[in-house]
Amino acid sequence: MLSHGAVCQSINEKPSAFSASENIAKFFDSLAYFEISGLTYISPNELQEERNMDGLISLLEELHRRTS
């Protein structure tokens, strides 16, 4: 079960490509807490360019399994 604050990183809400890249990097770093290799499912570039949504869905399903 995921507890509040288990993965604590601020989200950059500015609407810019740099902010998106920063948030994606934080997301991938946070996956290590759950022993998940995000690159197995999707690359940061694919996520930023909104490609390979099947990989993203698989990644989110794995994250859900590990936090439930």
Model pLDDT for residues 8-61, shown as the tens digit of each residue: 677 888 889 889 999 999 889 888 888 999 999 999 999 999 999 999 999 999
Q: Which domain holds residue 24?
A: 17-67
Question: Structural domain tally of the chain?
Answer: 1
In a domain, 28, yes or no: yes
In a domain, 24, yes or no: yes
In a domain, 2, yes or no: no
Q: How far is CA 26 from CA 4, 14, 22, 54, in A?
A: 17, 15, 6, 21
The whole-model pTM stands at 0.79
In a domain, 40, yes or no: yes
pLDDT given for residue 54 in this prediction: 97
In a domain, 46, yes or no: yes
In a domain, 4, yes or no: no
